[in-house]
Structures are given as C-alpha cells and as structure tokens.
Homo-oligomer: A and B are copies of this chain.
Amino acid sequence: MRRWNGWGDDSVTYPLPPLAAALLEARIGPASPPRDATPSEALAAVSPPRPLSHPLVKSDAVERLRHARGQSFPDWVALRTARIPAFPDGVAYPFTEADVAELIRFASQVGARLIPYGGGTSVVGHINPLPGDDRPTLTVDLSRMNRLLRLDDVSRLATFAAGVAGPDLEAQLRARGYTLGHFPQSFEYSTLGGWIATRSSGQESLGFGRIEDLFAGGRLLSPAGLLELPPFPASAAGPDLRHLVLGSEGRLGILTEATVRVTPLADSEPLTVHALFFPDWKAAQAAVRQIAQARLPISLVRLSTPTETETTLALAGHRRLIAALERMLALRKVGEGKCLLLLGCRGRSRASKAACREALAIAEREGGVSVGRAFGKRWAKARFRTPYLRNTLWEMGYGVDTLETAVVWKDVAGAVDAIEAALHAALAPFGERVHVFSHLSHVYPSGCSIYTTLIFRLATDPEETLARWQAMKTAASQAIVAVGGTISHQHGVGVDHAAYLPAEKGELGMALLRDAARRLDPAGLMNPGKLLR
C-alpha cells in the first residue's frame, strides 16, 4: 500500500546505517523524532467538499486526502502535521479519452478547476489545489489510463495512454522486446504524462535521451479542444508545438496519449556501472566534462562531490569493506576529498563497448582510479530505493530536500560552491547547520545538471521547520538565478519555482506562455497557480 504521508510502499523501509547516522549527528547534531499526525487525525481534518456532482467523480475523504499533496518538503510538513490548507473537492479516475473529454466538459460547465494527476510524485507542488480558491477543484487521476495502445515495430514507436506509470510501461514494452529507458528516481510511481508535462529526465538520459527526445507526439485535450501532435521524426514546418506541451505542467490541458521512441532490449542490455574514485573534485569535473564532450554513446555519468562521496560511503554501511577500499585508494594517493564517479554503459555491440572503454580511459587519464563494478551494481540495484530514506530520516527528526539546476560547463564549479554556500548561510541565523552535498548527473556537451541534497534538523514547531526550509529554498533559488542557471533541470516549476521563472523566460516569454494558456484554456480551469502565477 502506498504511504499516505511519505514516500513509497509502506511495507518498504530503508533503515539508516549506523555509520551514516553518526556522520549526520556529527555534522548537524542529534535530532528528535517529531510527532506525526495519525491517518484518522488527517482524515478528520479533511474539510467538507464543495459539490461536484458527476457519476465519474468521487468525493470521499480518503480519496481527497490522498490527492491533496505531492512530495515536496512543504507537502510532507502538511501531511505529517495534518495541516492541509486545500483539498480537491472531487477525484475522478477516467478510463478513456472520452471520459477525460467528459470531465473537461463537466468542469467547464460548473466552473471547476482541473488538476491532472499522474503519480503524485511532484516535488514542487504541481498537483496541489490552490488554497483559498473560490472555485471547486476536480483532480483527474489518470492512473487507469495505462495501456499500450499501439506499437509500430518498424519505426520503434509505442503509443500509450498517458497515465501509465514507469514499471507498468516498462513491463508492457518488455513483453514486446523493448524498453523506453526513462528512469527518473520517481520511476516506480511517476507516469508518462507526468514526465512529459514536467520535462522529466531519467537517470540514463545520456544514453536514452531526456523525455524531450523520447516524446514523439501525442494528444492533448484542452478546454478549447484537441491539440494533436504528429510523431514526425523531424520537421522544419514552423515552431515545434511538442515543446510547448513538454513542460506545460497541466496548464494547457490533459495529455491522453503519448507516442514514445523505444529501444529494443537486445540493443540496450546489460547495464554495467563502473565506479571510479578521483583524488579531487577539480580533476573529476574535468574528466566528466571531457567524457560529455566526447559525445560517447554511454548511458550514465554521475559524479559526487567529496561530501556526497563521504555520505554515500557511510550509507553503503559495511565499515570494514569501506576501510579496505580506502586503504586501497590511499595506495593510489586517493584519500581525503575523493570523489566518486559512476559510469554506466549499455549494450553488447562493438561500438557500445568501444564507447565505454573510451569513457573509462578518459576518466583514468584524469586521475580516476577504477574500483570495478560491484559498487555500481549496488547503486543500480538500489536506484529507486534512495527516496525511502526520506521516511527514515523524518522519523529520526531530520528533514531532507533536493534541488537542482543546469549550467554551462564554465560555470559548474562556481555554481556548486554558490548553491551550497547559500544553503549553509541561510540556515546559520536559525542557529542550525545543514548537511549539503551535490552531484553532477546529467551531462551534455555544453554543460550539466547540478543536483544538491540538503539534510537539516526538524524543529518541534512545524512553522519553524518550514521557515528553515523556506530560507534555504529561497537562498538556493536566488543563487541559481545569480549564477545563470535554470531554476530546474528535472523537477519542473510547479508552485515552488514559479517566482523564479520570469528571470529566465523574460517578460515577453512569460506573456507568450500566458497567451498559450489563454488560448487552450480561456476560462482558466487548468491547474491554477502552477508554472504561471
């Protein structure tokens, strides 16, 4: 059963290894567990719904609570304290595109807001009803629209109902010998439509491409009608409207079908993840940049800062194995300040293998010491487990959040420093410390993403906890804008980043986006408050 107030399946726990607990305590101090609201307290706090009378719409408290919030830090505080300012007034589970059309018609008729809901994994507030909205809110949960509708084997194009979640999508493709290869950390719950609407990026975007590269076309139902995007392999016929739907975050309509470019399993297996350690952060960055700029068809590059490396090793648990690893690395002059690089390669073809060898050769030339594949295997196996640590840490009294950007290579080192420094400085006035670490995980010839994790102590008073988080979130976002980064590389805009969007789109850019929303949704029903404020 899915956790109602945290991450993932409630039968899965991820206990914190003692080494990691000790590290955290040394860095930011001991914590004490907060008191979480019980499910019955939360259900009792669900406000009565405004009527949305339609055979497809449910309005019981459980559904409304379960669709009230996503996975952002403020979402967690709201759920764990049962202080939720707004609920959807109804939840519908359409089975077909006709159902979606009917729900849009109904909402237009009664003036209800519509929130498209995929897996509910947004970390920036994408699926939250607008507090204080004078109109009722209908959340459209697309999870029943989950079938592979067509597979064109020749063109390698698969068309899915857009509510399909990661594992279900991969299972249906696997049965036909294909994979999409889109593996964001939220993979187990997030959906194809959600990936497209938020411009998601999978862990192996280097090999398979970002969702922009995978999304060939589809059908967007808007209050103004259908926008159909044909799956051309390429086109010079004017602006590409796929790129307006990508990242539209539910403001333009509901994606009912999506056609994606798929890869035969035979071409993409196995995944092998090599681990290397670098003596210092600077050399490691240079290696990663060279690998990206060599445009080698490998699958994954993930480089951790020294602090993230230390944290990762502590999380790996085995004190003796790690000590042995560190002795071995010390012989190769890799010690304090070392950085972990994961290099993922796929495929058995000679070209794939040559690319992988070349990436390893570049890394070793820049001082990387290879420690084989065991570490990487462990990472690949646990790749979707990490978010479960949020539950564990919260229950110990620690809050966790992540934030991310992308910048050009010239600015990477400075941006990591600026973002991390901003986080430290923002928490200092509270008399608290934050454990901050980063990695570079999506690399391109011109730059890369920076993904930063922050862990800090929860206060007894949730308002105080939120104030700490808000101070850090604001400081980091301002730092990102100041270094010329995008406000999001993979999480999207939602509510939490909306204030920073004009800095990169400009006044005219924002006007263009508002015009598009007005054209497809003249009455302003679609997902209010997200992306565009």
Q: Name A's B-contacting residues (CB within 8 A).
A: 152, 154-157, 198-201, 210, 212, 216, 222, 224-228, 230-249, 261, 263, 267, 289, 293-297, 349-351, 353-355, 357-358, 406-411, 442, 444-449, 484-493, 497, 501, 504-509, 511-513, 515-516, 518-520, 531
- Contact between B351 and A236 (Cβ–Cβ < 8 Å)? no
Contacts of A353 in B (CB 8 A): 354
Contacts of A501 in B (CB 8 A): 237-238
- Contact between B234 and A506 (Cβ–Cβ < 8 Å)? no
Can you report 14 A-B residue pairs in the complex whose CB atoms are below 8 A from each other?
A154-B410, A155-B411, A216-B446, A231-B408, A232-B504, A235-B489, A236-B488, A236-B492, A237-B501, A238-B493, A238-B513, A243-B244, A244-B244, A515-B515
Assuming A507-B225, A508-B226, is B446 touching A231 (CB within 8 A)?
A: yes
A237 to B236, CA, bound (A): 24
- Contact between A407 and B232 (Cβ–Cβ < 8 Å)? yes
- Contact between A506 and B226 (Cβ–Cβ < 8 Å)? yes
How many copies of this chain are found per oligomer?
A: 2
Return A363 CB to nearest CB of chain B, in Å: 14
From B228, B357, B484, B520, give the contact of A230 (CB < 8 A): B484
- Contact between A409 and B230 (Cβ–Cβ < 8 Å)? no
- Contact between A509 and B241 (Cβ–Cβ < 8 Å)? yes
Complex: chain B residue closest to A516, CB-CB: B512
Complex: chain B residue closest to A511, CB-CB: B519
From B354, B487, B508, give the contact of A237 (CB < 8 A): B487
- Contact between B243 and A247 (Cβ–Cβ < 8 Å)? no
A504 to B238, CA, bound (A): 10
In the complex, given contacts A154-B408, A233-B448, A240-B243, what are 18 additional A-B residue pairs having Cβ atoms less than 8 angstroms apart?
A154-B410, A155-B408, A157-B408, A224-B508, A230-B504, A232-B408, A232-B447, A235-B504, A237-B488, A237-B501, A238-B513, A239-B244, A261-B445, A267-B294, A297-B297, A350-B354, A351-B351, A353-B354
A467 to B529, CA, bound (A): 55
- Contact between A246 and B235 (Cβ–Cβ < 8 Å)? no
- Contact between B231 and A449 (Cβ–Cβ < 8 Å)? no
From B242, B249, B406, give the contact of A238 (CB < 8 A): B249
Contacts of A449 in B (CB 8 A): 233-234
Contacts of A200 in B (CB 8 A): 236
- Contact between A351 and B294 (Cβ–Cβ < 8 Å)? yes
Return A485 CB to nearest CB of chain B, in Å: 7
From B237, B289, B294, B504, give the contact of A486 (CB < 8 A): B237
A436 to B129, CA, bound (A): 59
A507 to B238, CA, bound (A): 14
From B406, B506, B519, give the contact of A233 (CB < 8 A): B406
Contacts of A355 in B (CB 8 A): 351, 354
Assuming A225-B507, A486-B232, A515-B516, is B237 touching A247 (CB within 8 A)?
A: yes
- Contact between B240 and A294 (Cβ–Cβ < 8 Å)? no
A73 to B375, CA, bound (A): 63
Return A347 CB to nearest CB of chain B, in Å: 10
A504 to B242, CA, bound (A): 12
- Contact between B236 and A490 (Cβ–Cβ < 8 Å)? yes
Return A446 CB to nearest CB of chain B, in Å: 5
A487 to B475, CA, bound (A): 48
Contacts of A240 in B (CB 8 A): 199, 212, 243, 246-247
Return A171 CB to nearest CB of chain B, in Å: 22
A515 to B511, CA, bound (A): 10
Return A173 CB to nearest CB of chain B, in Å: 15
- Contact between A508 and B233 (Cβ–Cβ < 8 Å)? no
- Contact between B239 and A198 (Cβ–Cβ < 8 Å)? no
Return A206 CB to nearest CB of chain B, in Å: 11
A50 to B447, CA, bound (A): 50
Contacts of A199 in B (CB 8 A): 235-238, 240
> What are the 9 tightest A-B residue pairs by CB atom distance, in nearest-first order?
A233-B447, A243-B243, A354-B354, A199-B236, A155-B408, A235-B486, A233-B444, A155-B409, A154-B410
